């Protein structure tokens, strides 16, 4: 009887050992199996995330303007735009044209500024959505523009900035 118990104990112990061994070897082997596919999936996902931006499929900025922060927009303007633009009424043209009344203003129409032919050919007025595209990526919206600015990738920054531009106007146009 005693020897049967010992044998049974031995059997159980070795079965357990085999199970543990199986788990350990799985853990050791699986990461190697997973390594490549996991990286491929991650790369695919980030490409997919970048795709809408590349295709200029920007979501409309209009709905974001109501809750945008005009004060923050002003700070962004001073930081990012003021080197090349003034925005006070009757302000001078610098590297770029003065921007008083920019929302609703006809494109490439500010007196005394020599615009690129690319921007002159664009046509229409500066709507909220056109400004959104221009500020997101000037070269993407007006290919050949002489506005040498990389763009603001963050939607919230663009919403704050455009909300500020709207206020710098004799008659601020209604929010969409
Ligand atoms: C490095 C200088 C530079 C910076 C920085 C810059 N701009 Fe410009 N911007 C220009 C130039 C130059 C033009 C004229 C573009 C052309 O003629 O193609 C222009 C034109 C524009 C126009 C069209 C104006 C019109 O009368 O049709 C808008 C709108 C504009 N900029 C907005 C901005 C905003 C907003 C910022 C800050 C986020 C900014 N720009 C930053 C140089 C700059």
For the stretch 17-74, pLDDT in tens is 555 555 555 555 554 554 444 544 444 444 444 444 444 589 999 999 999 999 999 9
Ligand 1 near 100 CB (within 6 A): no
Is residue 116 over pLDDT 80? yes
For atom 18 of ligand 1, which residue has the closest CA? Answer: 145
| pTM reported for the whole predicted model | 0.75
Ligand 1 near 87 CB (within 6 A): no
Top mutation candidate among 96, 105, 114, 117 for ligand 1, by most atoms within 8 Å of CB: 96
Q: What is the DSSP string of 13-68?
A: HHHHHHHHHHHHHHHHHHHHHHHHHHHHHHHHHHHHHHHHHHTT-PPPSHHHHTT-
Is residue 172 over pLDDT 90? yes
Ligand 1 near 135 CB (within 6 A): yes
């Amino acid at each position: 009887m005693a020897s049967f118990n010992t044998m049974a104990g031995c059997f159980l112990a070795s079965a357990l050992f085999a199970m543990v061994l199986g788990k350990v070897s799985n853990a050791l082997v699986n990461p190697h199996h997973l390594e490549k596919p996991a990286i491929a999936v991650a790369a695919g996902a980030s490409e997919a995330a970048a795709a809408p931006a590349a295709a200029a499929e920007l979501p409309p900025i209009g709905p974001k303007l109501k809750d945008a922060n005009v004060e923050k927009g002003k700070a962004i303007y001073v930081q990012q735009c003021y080197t090349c633009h003034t925005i006070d009424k009757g302000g001078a043209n610098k590297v770029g044209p003065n921007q008083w009344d920019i929302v609703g203003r006809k494109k490439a129409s500010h007196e005394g500024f020599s615009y690129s032919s690319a921007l002159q050919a664009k046509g229409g007025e500066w709507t909220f959505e056109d400004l959104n595209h221009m500020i997101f990526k000037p070269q993407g919206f007006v290919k050949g523009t002489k506005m040498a600015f990389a763009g603001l990738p963050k939607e919230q920054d663009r919403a704050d900035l455009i909300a500020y531009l709207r206020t710098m106007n004799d008659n601020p146009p209604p929010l969409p």
